Amino acid sequence: MIKITKGDKPDILDQKAAEWTAEVQAALDAGEELSKSLKSKYNHASVKAAIVTETHGKCAYCESKVRHVAPGDIEHIVPKSIEPALWFEWLNLTLACPVCNTNKSNHQGFVDPHDDEPSEHFWFAGTAIFPRPGSQKGTLTETVLKLNRSDLHDRRYDRLSSLERLLRIASNEVDPALKAVLQQDLIMNENKPEVEYAAMSRAFVANAQAQGLLP
Judge if 101 and 154 occupy the same domain.
no
pTM given for the model: 0.90
Let me know: does 101 contact 72? Beta carbons within 8 Å: no
Does residue 133 form part of some domain? Answer: no
Domain final position from 75, 105, 135? 105
Judge if 100 and 155 occupy the same domain.
no
- Cα–Cα distance between 57 and 48 in angstroms, integer? 10
Domain span at residue 98?
11-105
Let me know: does 10 contact 90? Beta carbons within 8 Å: yes
Domain final position from 105, 130, 159? 105
Residue spans of the chain under pLDDT 70? 67-71
Does residue 97 form part of some domain? Answer: yes
Does residue 110 form part of some domain? Answer: no
Does residue 87 form part of some domain? Answer: yes
- The vertex-71 CA angle with 17 and 14, nearest 5°, equals 15
Does residue 181 form part of some domain? Answer: yes
Judge if 89 and 26 occupy the same domain.
yes
What's the confidence (pLDDT) of residue 34? Answer: 85
Does residue 17 form part of some domain? Answer: yes
Question: How many domains would you assign to the chain?
Answer: 2
